[in-house]
Amino acid sequence: MSNVSSLATLARTASRALSALSASAKDEAIEAIARALLSHSDAIANANRLDMDDAEQAGLAAPLKKRLLYDASKIQNSVVGLRSLALLPDPVGRTLMSTEMDEGLLLYRVTCPIGVIGVIFESRPDALVQIAALCLKAGNAVLLKGGSEASRTNRILSDIIAEASLSAGIPAGWIALLSSRAEVDEMLRLDESIDLIIPRGSNAFVQHIMRNSSIPVLGHADGVCHVYVNEEADPSMALRIAVDSKVQYVAVCNAAETILIDRSIATNFLPALANALAAKNVVLHGDDEARAIFPMETVDDWHKEYLDYEVSVHIVAGKDEAIDHINRYGSGHTDTIITENKDIAERFLREVDSGSVMWNCSTRFSDGYKYGFGAEVGISTAKIHARGPVGLDGLVTYKYKLYGKGQIVEDYASGKRTFTHRPIPDEGKS
Amino acid sequence: MSNVSSLATLARTASRALSALSASAKDEAIEAIARALLSHSDAIANANRLDMDDAEQAGLAAPLKKRLLYDASKIQNSVVGLRSLALLPDPVGRTLMSTEMDEGLLLYRVTCPIGVIGVIFESRPDALVQIAALCLKAGNAVLLKGGSEASRTNRILSDIIAEASLSAGIPAGWIALLSSRAEVDEMLRLDESIDLIIPRGSNAFVQHIMRNSSIPVLGHADGVCHVYVNEEADPSMALRIAVDSKVQYVAVCNAAETILIDRSIATNFLPALANALAAKNVVLHGDDEARAIFPMETVDDWHKEYLDYEVSVHIVAGKDEAIDHINRYGSGHTDTIITENKDIAERFLREVDSGSVMWNCSTRFSDGYKYGFGAEVGISTAKIHARGPVGLDGLVTYKYKLYGKGQIVEDYASGKRTFTHRPIPDEGKS
C-alpha cells in the first residue's frame, strides 16, 4: 500500500473512534492544541523563519511572504480562533427530524461526521491550524497538504497538533500531512477512503482539483460578484454600496468585479460612480455604451475576476438583462441589487442563481463570520451539500436512526399494522 | 450546438422561470398531467403494446416484461401517485435559518430548486411519470433517458407531460427526452448545464454513471444490507427480523444480504435461523465456522448482493467485528442490530457508517414512503447532500438571501457598527 493510501486507511479507522467522542472530549483536545501552540511558540517561529529565509532567497512576491509569515502574533491569533471554536455548539448529534412511524418505531435524522476529509491549501500556515481544528470539532479525520514554501512550518504544526490531541485522548492517525504534489494527485483518486475534498487557494488551483477528482469538492474557484444598480435605486445608497463592494478589501472572493447599471439612469449615475471609484484608485473597464458616457478602459472578458483595484461596468436594459448577465458570467458566489422596488428585488433574489443574493447591501457581507456562523470552513459555489459561506455544519452529514421493538415490514404489508407518521415532540428520544 | 447541449440550454432557461412558480401553479400542472394521462390512456396503452410486442420477439425475460408493462391499471397507479404528490407541501421557499445580523440587516437561508436534473432509468415507464412530476414539484427542469425497450411508451408519456404542463402555464423546455446512449454520455459531460444526475437501475449501470461523470450523482449502486444478531438479542425477535429482512421482498435494495451472528450464540441460534430461512426457500452461504454448525453453501464474496432467495452468514467475535465487517463489506445503505443491550445498540448506530442504521427492526423499513416522506426520489449511499431514503427535499438546495437598508462592510470593519447575530423570531421576514 502506498504512503497516502495507508495514511487514508489509518484516518478512516481513527474517524470511527472520532465519531464516538463527546463534545467535551473534542473541545478539551482543541484547548490542548491551543496550549501546545503557545508552549512551542518559539520552535514554530524558528521553523517559520527558515521557510521565510528560503522564500526571501527564492524571491517570493511580498503578498505571498506576508501570507507565509507565522510569528508569535499570528500564533496568538490562531489560539484565539481555537478557543472560540471550542465554545461553539457540537455540530454532531443534532436531531434534524424525528417521526414516530408507529408506536415504538421511532425515526431520527441525526447529524454525524462525514468521515475523512482531504484539505489542500496554499501558503498560509494558519489555515492548517484552523482547518484541522474545524475537522476535529466536527469529528472528521483529515489529510492535509500545504504549500511547499511553508513545509517546515506545516510539519511542526501538524506534529504539535497530532501530539497534543493524542495526549488529550484523540485517536492517533486522525491528522496526517502529505508532502508532495504526487501525493495530492493520489489522494484525489482515493474515492473509497476520502469523503470530501476542500481546496483553498487560487482560481486555477481549485479548478484543477475540481476537474481531477470524482470525490465531492467543497469550495469555489472564483468569485465574480456583481452589484446591479436598478433604475429605482437610491443613487447615494448605490454609490456607497458599489464602492464598498469593490474597495473595502479588493483581494477577496466576495469583492465586486462587475457593476451593472440600468440604461435609464446611466447618464446621471455612471459619472458619479466613476468619480467615486477613481477617488479610491479603481481603474474602470466598460462596454461601448459606458465608455461613451465616461472615458474608461475596454472590457476583455465579463468572467474576469480582478481581485484588484479594477472593475467592469456594463449598461443593461433592465432587471431581466441584469439577471441573465449575472447567471451567464457570474460564478454563483454573491450578487446584490440596489433598488427601492421590493418586487424587483424579490425577483432578483429568486432568479439569480448564486449562493448569496442580496438587496441593498454590500457583497462583502457574504462570509461565515459576518453571517454569524462562528467559524468558516470556506465558501462553496457548488449547488448541493453546502452552498454559500459554510460553517461547521458543512463538515457534517446525517444518518437515519430507526429505533424499534421487533417490528417487521410484513405486518404493515399485510395490513396487520399501519404507519402513524406523527412528528415526535421536541423532548427527543428517550 | 448538439441536440443534448441545446436541450440542456433550453432546460436551464426554463428552470429560471420554474423557480418563480407558486406552489399552486406547480400543483395545478401536476393535476393537469394526471388528467392528460387518463384522457390519453388508450393511446398510451397502444404505444406500450408495441413496445411489449418487440420485447416478446426479442425474448425479453419475464421480470423485465413485467416492469415494461404500462397498462390502464398502471396508468391509474401513476395518477394516484401524481395526486398525492400535488398534496405534499411545496419544498421550495422554506426558511431553514434566519439571523438578524444587525438592525435592518436580515439573513435567511431559504430552499430553492437545484436547477436542471438528468435522470437515467431502465425499463419501467411509470418511473418517467413519477420522476418528472417530482422534479416539477421541486421546481427543477429535467432531461430524461429511459430504457430503449420502452421507447414508444416513454415518447408518448413525455409528449403528454410536456403538452399538459405547457397548457397549465409551465414554461416549454422544462422536460426533454433523450433517445440514445450517446446522448447520455454527452449529458454526463455537461457539468455546466446539468446540476445533478439521478440514475435508477442495476448495480453495474449506476456504477458506470457514477464513474463517468463529474456531476454530482444521487443514488446507490447496490444495497448490501446486514442483520447483526448480537449475543444479547431476543432469539425469537432476531429470527422474525432476519427472516423479514431477507424474504419480505427479495428483489429490492433494502433486503438483507448478510446475517452476522455472535459466536457465543451461534450454536443455538444458527440452526433455528437456517431452518426458518429454509422454510422460505432461502439458500444459505456460510463461512467455515457457520458450515461446521449447519450444512450450507460456501460464500464467494462478502460484497455479494443476491437480490434473490440467498443469504450469506458470518460468525463474528462480537460487536466490534460486526461493525468492522459492515463498514468494510457493506454498501452504506441499511444495517440493523438485534440486541436487548441499549449501549451496544447505540454504539452500532453511531459507528456503522450507513445512511440508515436500525435497532430491533427490519432493514426493509428504509424507504421514503415508510419513513413518511410522502414521496421517494431514490435512496442515496453518498455521504453528502442527501443520504438514505430521499424525499422531495433531496431535489432542492438553498441560497442565502440578505435583506439590507444600505449597509456597507466598512462601517463594521471600522467599528462604527457591530453585528448583533440574533435569531429572527418565527414569523419570518415581513
> Does A394 reside within a domain?
no
Whether B355 and B230 share a structural domain? yes
B356 contacts: CB under 8 Å, gap ≥ 6 = A399, A400, A402, B254, B333, B334, B335, B363, B365, B366, B388, B389
- Where residue B430 falls among pLDDT bands split at 50, 70, 90? very low
Are B327 and A16 within 8 A, CB to CB?
Answer: yes
> Does A146 reside within a domain?
yes
| pLDDT value at residue B429 | 44
Check: CB of residue B183 under 8 Å from CB of residue B164: no
Chain A residues in contact with B376 (beta carbon < 8 A) = none
Are B366 and A421 within 8 A, CB to CB?
Answer: no
| pLDDT value at residue A11 | 97
- Whole-complex ipTM: 0.93
Write the secondary structure of B205-272 as one string of H (helix), E (strand) and C (coil). HHHHHHHCCCCCECCCCCCCEEEEECCCCCHHHHHHHHHHHHHCCCCCCCCEEEEEEEHHHHHHHHHH
From A38-52, B104-118, B211-225, the region with the lowest mean pLDDT: B211-225
Neighbours of B84 (CB within 10 A): 12
Cα-based angle A37, A40, A46 (whole degrees, multiple of 5): 115
Whether A94 and A144 share a structural domain? yes
> Does B176 reside within a domain?
yes
Whether B147 and B78 share a structural domain? yes
Chain A residues in contact with B244 (beta carbon < 8 A) = 408-410
B-chain residue closest to A239, CA distance: B406
Number of compact structural domains in chain A: 2
| pLDDT value at residue B427 | 56
Are B364 and A397 within 8 A, CB to CB?
Answer: no
> Does A338 reside within a domain?
yes
Per-residue pLDDT, averaged over B16-22, amounts to 92
Pairing of strands B225-229, A105-113: unpaired
B94, B193, B228, B353: best mutation site toward chain A, by most A Cβ within 10 Å?
A: B353
Q: Kindly report the average pLDDT of chain B as a whole number.
A: 94
Chain B residues in contact with A399 (beta carbon < 8 A) = 354-357, 387-388
Check: CB of residue B351 under 8 Å from CB of residue A19: yes
Chain B residues in contact with A408 (beta carbon < 8 A) = 240-241, 243-244, 248, 361-362, 364
Looking at the partner chain, which of B105, B112, B400 has a beta carbon nearest the beta carbon of A356? Answer: B400
| pLDDT value at residue A407 | 98
Chain A residues in contact with B107 (beta carbon < 8 A) = 371-372
CA A339 remoteness from chain centre: 29
Q: Which of A365, A380, A405 is the last residue of a domain?
A: A365
Whether B235 and B200 share a structural domain? no
Give the distance from residue B43's alpha carbon to the nearest chain A alpha carbon, in angstroms.
Answer: 33
Dump strand ranges (E) for A354-417.
Answer: 356-361, 378-380, 388-390, 396-407
Per-residue pLDDT, averaged over A341-359, amounts to 97
Per residue in A124-133, pLDDT (tens digit) is: 899 999 999 9
Smallest CA-to-CA distance from B183 within B378, B3, B391 is with B3
Check: CB of residue B310 under 8 Å from CB of residue B285: yes
Are B349 and A241 within 8 A, CB to CB?
Answer: no
Whether A318 and A354 share a structural domain? yes
- Where residue B370 falls among pLDDT bands split at 50, 70, 90? very high
> Does A163 reside within a domain?
yes
| pLDDT value at residue A173 | 97
Give the distance from residue B421's alpha carbon to the nearest chain A alpha carbon, in angstroms.
Answer: 6
Smallest CA-to-CA distance from A380 within A214, A217, A209 is with A217
| pLDDT value at residue A428 | 46
Looking at the partner chain, which of B327, B360, B405 has a beta carbon nearest the beta carbon of A404? Answer: B360
Are A195 and B384 within 8 A, CB to CB?
Answer: yes
Are A244 and B410 within 8 A, CB to CB?
Answer: yes
Whether B128 and B268 share a structural domain? no
Per residue in A260-289, pLDDT (tens digit) is: 999 999 999 999 999 999 999 999 999 999
Smallest CA-to-CA distance from B247 within B276, B280, B293 is with B280
> Does B199 reside within a domain?
yes
- Where residue A206 falls among pLDDT bands split at 50, 70, 90? confident
Q: Which residue has the cell 461565515?
A: A368
Dump strand ranges (E) for A25-168.
Answer: 95-102, 105-113, 116-121, 141-145
| pLDDT value at residue A205 | 81
Torsion angle of C-alpha atoms A365, A366, A372, A375, degrees rounded to 10: -130
Whether A258 and A187 share a structural domain? no
Looking at the partner chain, which of B356, B370, B409 has a beta carbon nearest the beta carbon of A101? Answer: B370
Give the distance from residue B125's alpha carbon to the nearest chain A alpha carbon, in angstroms.
Answer: 24
Give the distance from residue B42's alpha carbon to the nearest chain A alpha carbon, in angstroms.
Answer: 31
Give the distance from residue A252's alpha carbon to the nearest chain B alpha carbon, in angstroms.
Answer: 13
> Does A85 reside within a domain?
yes
Chain A residues in contact with B386 (beta carbon < 8 A) = 384
Q: Which domain range does residue A335 map to?
A: 225-365
- In angstroms, rounded to a whole number, what is the distance separating the alpha carbons of residues B59 and B76? 28
With left for phi above 0 and alpha for psi between -120 and 50, is residue A361 left, alpha or beta?
beta
- pLDDT at residue A85 greater than cutoff 50: yes
Give the distance from residue A202's alpha carbon to the nearest chain B alpha carbon, in angstroms.
Answer: 20
Q: Kindly report the average pLDDT of chain A as a whole number.
A: 94
Q: Measure the N-to-C terminal CA separation of chain A; round to a whole number of Å.
A: 45
A193, A408, A412, A420: best mutation site toward chain B, by most B Cβ within 10 Å?
A: A408
Are B99 and A241 within 8 A, CB to CB?
Answer: no
Chain A residues in contact with B383 (beta carbon < 8 A) = 114-115, 195-196, 216, 397
Are B365 and A403 within 8 A, CB to CB?
Answer: no
Whether B132 and B276 share a structural domain? no
Q: How far is CA B179 from CA B4, B67, B185, in A?
A: 10, 19, 11
Per residue in A215-226, pLDDT (tens digit) is: 888 988 889 999
Sheet holding A334-338, edge to edge: A297-298, A283-286, A310-316, A256-262, A225-229, A334-338, A356-361, B396-407, B105-113, B95-102, B422-423
> Does A60 reside within a domain?
yes
Paired strand residues for A261: A229, A315
Looking at the partner chain, which of B355, B399, B419 has a beta carbon nearest the beta carbon of A357? Answer: B399
Q: Which of B365, B386, B415 is the last residue of a domain?
A: B365
Whether B188 and B263 share a structural domain? no
Are B407 and A365 within 8 A, CB to CB?
Answer: yes
- In angstroms, rounded to a whole number, what is the distance separating the alpha carbons of residues B404 and B155? 48
Q: What percent of chain B has pLDDT over 90?
A: 84
- In angstroms, rounded to a whole number, what is the distance separating the alpha carbons of residues B161 and A338? 39
Whether B231 and B207 share a structural domain? no
Q: Which helix (H) or strand (E) holds A131?
A: helix A125-137
Q: Which of B365, B395, B419 is the last residue of a domain?
A: B365
CATH of the domain at B306: 3.40.309.10
Q: Which residue has the cell 444490507?
A: B225
Q: How far is CA B8 from CA B194, B199, B205, B229, in A?
A: 7, 17, 22, 49
Per residue in B202-224, pLDDT (tens digit) is: 778 888 888 777 788 898 888 99
| pLDDT value at residue B275 | 97
| pLDDT value at residue A191 | 85
Chain B residues in contact with A365 (beta carbon < 8 A) = 101, 105, 402, 404, 407, 409
Whether A64 and A188 share a structural domain? yes
CATH of the domain at B164: 3.40.605.10
Buried b vs exposed e over B349-372: b needs ≥16 C-beta within 10 Å? bbbbbbbbbbbbbbbbbbbbebbb
Q: Whole-model pTM?
A: 0.93
| pLDDT value at residue A203 | 78
Per residue in A282-306, pLDDT (tens digit) is: 999 999 999 999 999 999 999 999 9
Check: CB of residue B226 under 8 Å from CB of residue B313: no
- Where residue B428 falls among pLDDT bands split at 50, 70, 90? very low
Q: Which residue has the cell 452589484?
A: A227
Whether B133 and B61 share a structural domain? yes
Chain A residues in contact with B330 (beta carbon < 8 A) = none
Chain A residues in contact with B371 (beta carbon < 8 A) = 99, 101, 107, 400
Per-residue pLDDT, averaged over B75-102, amounts to 96
Neighbours of B283 (CB within 10 A): 13
Q: Is B71 helix (H, G, I), strand (E, B) or coil?
A: coil
Are B115 and A409 within 8 A, CB to CB?
Answer: no
Q: Is A27 helix (H, G, I), strand (E, B) or coil?
A: helix
| pLDDT value at residue A427 | 55
